[in-house]
A and B are shown apart, each in its own frame.
Chain A
């Protein structure tokens, strides 16, 4: 595939019911009403010269290059700002226009460096293209006032403060595209035009880029028509020569990117406009933080060791796989079939995840398979399946553009799901109302041109009480959408629920003491959600990672059903899922009780269909969840585990318990791209492959199945799916697949909701959202449209049960954990990129009141202790917190945030209660004992010995 550039129609093609027909250069063309003359011309292949226009942005009309003549109109209007009209007759090229354009270009070039041959954008510069297009042959203006000559008073040096791109003011033509991209696409408003007249220039708010509000999403770099803003990798390597469309491997938004390549070297990642999840936008992680994929820390040779204190020994694939297989068989012979299990990876593809669970069910002969959704959205699966009938969100991301009231609960989209946040902010700027329920004052509460109508700043752990209070208002004030409920939901369950929430004890006034949210605010928010038009709920781990995570998911589902907010665009209950393929790993049967497609292992018909194809008998009993496996390991009955691409030592709660479990096992097999924290306790290491090194699919939070395409060979020699096949082979369970597409064919054959999915369809459509089958051949953007998947929507009674984790004299504060924009989860990827410059360590955010009481000032090293353990972090004083609540992130292994989290978990799914830990904070002058031990072991347990040659 060559470097096919994406079509740029200059201004957006509007969506309209009506079309208008006009004549451009003698040809008739029809476009949706509201579409500009420029875009209309582009639809017939006519490129009107332009500089300030690009179809990611609204028309601006400043460059004066896209002028056209329209019969019957005076002058030469700009085609970008002129809407097409019926009967219009347009001429795009006339001698008059040519002269005007050449004159304009001459002025531009008179204040632009003529260093094209050595310029980073040589070959990819719209200014260069336009100079060519208008036939500019000379610039008649001599030396004068300019921004180009270093001696000029107006000259500004390059700004190289951002690690990923460079700003060269001398090349700026002040087209405003970057400023508008920052506003319209990203919604950060970090850029502006400083100065007036000839002095005007782009500025990140008067400071340098790194020190500014810029979030490095890359939208400005993408929008820049010249080399003013350009990727450092392009400066370094030159222009790419081919592009492959693939899917980002960071969060659950699942952005489509063009991986732009020189041979098998990645030059840059540019968001693809054709990607339906992101429509041409990106964030700092997907756009820039991909250097980890070829980082020197990548482990590319298989390794084994007898004891975790031994140094690793590099061996052949055959030896490593043989060791893992013989150990697993030995363990099963010695301790029983159930003594081994595995963890699938939400970082890997659907096909890879499917193979791991197949290996476990068919090869290990048990259902001891789990995945990281255990610790994030397992309550979503349980709660939405119980109430609606499917374990997934109800909408596509685009739906938010039709929402009137958005309720964001326990999510911080600007940091965790930035590209979705940009869509959301765009809708909010158009006038949709926002309600935020979060213990912290997240950025969405008040930002540029975005303000939450209501911030329900609740005490962590009281979600369900708050939700019941909102439901109380809706039921007792007669705001229920009765017709919807009567037609779509189970009435008996609705009535029991309505009676329950109507009880006085659930009123906002009665629950205020528990939740800490003023009753009047709750009432107003409830009225707004119920009566403000399309109400959409978006939520994150602040909902699920509680002892009542599943209850809370059902409480939100109740609310959406009661107000008729399910089953059309602009509404819904939408989990913002964490990992790139966590939705997919759940879909693919990664839970110990479910086969692919969320069908229980005890369902005979389902099991028989798998048994028939796989040629084995499958267990009908649920297997162990991750915490069960660890408990059984500590108890001495679980002895071996195969972990593909997951780092439970860093990500799972109560680190010391996780480590104790792993230390008690006899064979821990890790497949990963790095020697991660969990690998410190492993005996066999199998090199993993990055998303750039394999074919496959990821499924994002909107159930969208997107292609992942290989752009370079696996550094370790095998892609992850090939490693699993080889491991299966070594275990005597042969699997025959020549390409991941064949694995998808098997998934489709066995899973009704995937029946229509094939690589051919994905090639044709770009992506599809499951269910995709005979009933929905092109997939399903919005779920539960005419009826709920389970038939009638089911209201569940959601009694508030306070967590057992209580604050008291010893641990008076509540710690809650979360993420920040620049780092991703355990940081294995982002810490190996320049993203760490924004976040070099995890810090403790604490309210000034709590800080003062403890004599803590900004930057102090403080000890954070819970009944599980203690760590030391630097303090940041922040009024984003409420008094009594402290916050940290868990991106750095050395901080050990999960040393202090507890073993409490969700009642239905055992999703850990990361969001509520009772702690004490005090000043300290040393790292904690755990942190000191970590530093020693970090080296001791990661040693790689010299390779032995075969003769020894």
Chain B
């Protein structure tokens, strides 16, 4: 799937969770993506986020790029 589409999907998810405190929003976005996106979609999106490409919302970037705190 192309990055633009993934970015739109990710940013829509972020738009919903933005109402919550940032840490909670990031965790919820991460959880949502993990529950519903295929590994390939997650990987493509994460790689684009790491390269700073695709116009992903900062919340999505954090959700995809940051490692989960243990």
* Interface positions of A (Cβ within 8 A of B): 338, 500, 547, 550-551, 592-593, 600, 602, 621-625, 628, 631-632, 635, 797-799, 801, 907-910
- Contact (Cβ within 8 A) B38 A621: yes
Instruction: Report which of A622, A625, A908 forms a contact with B13, defined as CB distance below 8 A.
Output: A908
Structural contact, B37 and A622, CB atoms closer than 8 A: yes
A799 touches B12 (CB 8 A): no
Interface residues of B (CB under 8 A from A): 1-2, 5, 9, 12-13, 15-16, 18-20, 32, 34-41
Subset of 9 A-B contacts with CB under 8 Å: A547-B12, A592-B38, A600-B35, A623-B38, A625-B36, A635-B2, A801-B15, A907-B12, A908-B32
B1 touching A628, Cβ below 8 Å: yes
Is the beta-carbon distance between B35 and A797 smaller than 8 angstroms? no
Please judge, given known A-B contacts A622-B35, A622-B36, A624-B38, whether A797 and B19 are in contact too, CB under 8 Å.
yes
With known contacts A628-B1, A632-B1, A907-B12, A622–B19 Cβ distance under 8 A: no
Q: Which residues of A contact B18 (CB under 8 A)?
A: 799
Q: Find out whether the CB atom of A622 lies under 8 angstroms from the CB atom of B38.
A: yes
What secondary structure prevails in chain A residues at the interface with B? loop
> Which residues of chain A are near B35, meaning CB under 8 Å?
593, 600, 602, 622
Cβ of A907: which chain B residues have Cβ within 8 Å of it? 9, 12-13, 15-16
Contact in complex: B12, A593 (CB < 8 Å)? no
Q: B residues within 8 A CB of A624?
A: 38
Instruction: Tell me how many residue pairs across A and B have CB atoms closer than 8 Å.
Output: 51
Q: How far is the CB of A222 from chain B (nearest CB, A)?
A: 46
Roughly how many angstroms separate A566 CA and B20 CA in the complex, as a whole number? 25
Q: Which residues of A contact B15 (CB under 8 A)?
A: 799, 801, 907
Check A621/B39 contact, CB under 8 A, given A631-B1, A631-B5, A635-B1.
yes
When distances are taken between beta carbons in the complex, the residues of chain A under 8 Å from B37 are 622
Contacting residue for B19 out of A550, A799, A908, A910, CB 8 A: A799
Residues of B within 8 A of A909 (CB): 36
Known contacts A593-B36, A631-B1, A635-B1: A801-B16 contact under CB 8 Å:
yes
Q: Which residues of A contact B12 (CB under 8 A)?
A: 547, 801, 907
Q: How far is the CB of B43 from chain A (nearest CB, A)?
A: 11
Contacts of B1 in A (CB 8 A): 628, 631-632, 635
Beyond A547-B12, A622-B35, A631-B1, 9 extra complex contacts between A and B, CB < 8 Å: A593-B35, A631-B5, A632-B1, A635-B1, A797-B19, A799-B15, A799-B18, A907-B16, A910-B9
Q: Give the docked Cα–Cα distance between A624 and B37 (Å).
A: 8
B34 / chain A contacts, CB cutoff of 8 Å: 602
Q: Which residues of B contact A602 (CB under 8 A)?
A: 34-35
Distance, CA A628 to CA B39, complexed state (A)? 12
A14 to chain B, nearest CB (A): 49
Nearest Cβ distance between residue B21 and chain A, in whole angstroms? 9
Chain A residues, CB < 8 A from B38: 338, 592, 621-624, 628
Known: A622-B35, A797-B20, A908-B32. A628 touches B13 (CB 8 A): no
Report the Cα distance A911→B37, complex, angstroms: 14
Shortest 10 CB-CB contacts between residues of A and residues of B: A907-B12, A797-B19, A799-B19, A801-B15, A631-B1, A621-B39, A907-B13, A907-B16, A593-B36, A624-B38
Docked CA distance A628–B18 (Å): 25
Do the beta carbons of A628 and B41 come within 8 Å of each other? yes
In the bound assembly, the distance between CA atoms of A204 and B2 in angstroms comes to 59
Q: Which residues from chain A contact B41 at a C-beta distance below 8 Å?
A: 628
Give the shortest distance, in Å, between A633 (CB) and chain B (any CB). Answer: 11
Cβ of B64 to closest chain A Cβ, rounded Å: 15
CB distance from B24 to the nearest CB of A (A): 10
The winner among B1, B34, B38 for most chain A CB atoms within 10 A is B38
A222 to B39, CA, bound (A): 56
Selected from B2, B16, B19, B40, the residue in CB contact (under 8 A) with A500 is: B19
Docked Cα-Cα span, A458 to B19, in Å, equals 24
Chain B residues near A592 (CB-CB < 8 A): 38
Return chain A residues, CB-CB under 8 Å to B19: 500, 797-799
A22→B53 CA distance, assembly (Å): 84
Please give, as numbers and ranges, the residues of chain A lying within 8 Å of B9 by CB-CB distance.
907, 910
Complex: how many Å from CA A255 to CA B8? 41
Shortest distance between the CB of B40 and any CB in chain A (Å): 8
Chain B residues with Cβ below 8 Å from A635 are 1-2
Whole-angstrom distance between the Cβ of A637 and the nearest chain B Cβ: 8
In the complex, A338 Cα to B1 Cα: how many Å?
14
Least Cβ–Cβ distance between A773 and chain B, in angstroms: 25
Q: Closest CB-CB distance, B10 to chain A, in whole Å?
A: 10
Within the assembled complex, what's the spacing in Å between the Cα atoms of A628 and B44? 13
Q: In the complex, A909 Cα to B16 Cα: how many Å? A: 13
Interface centre among B1, B20, B36, B39, by most A CB within 10 Å?
B36
B44 CB to nearest chain A CB (Å): 11
Most buried by B among A338, A593, A602, A907: A907
Which residues of B have CB within 8 Å of A623? 38
Kindly provide the distance from the CB of A553 to the nearest chain B CB, expressed in whole angstroms.
12
Contacts of A797 on B, CB cut-off 8 Å?
19-20
The distance from the CB of B41 to the nearest CB of chain A, in whole angstroms, is 7
A381 to chain B minimum Cβ distance, whole angstroms, is 12
Taken together as a complex, chains A and B put the C-alpha atoms of A628 and B37 apart, in Å, by 9
Task: Indicate the member of A500, A600, A622, A632 with the most B CB atoms within 10 Å.
Answer: A622
How far does the alpha carbon of A797 sit from the alpha carbon of B16 in the complex, in Å? 8
Q: Please name all residues of chain B whose beta carbon is closer than 8 Å to the beta carbon of A798 when the two chains form the complex.
A: 19
Distance between A168 CB and nearest chain B CB, rounded to angstroms: 59
* Given A621-B39, A622-B38, A623-B38, also A908-B16 (CB < 8 A): yes
CA distance A17 to B2 in the complex (A): 65
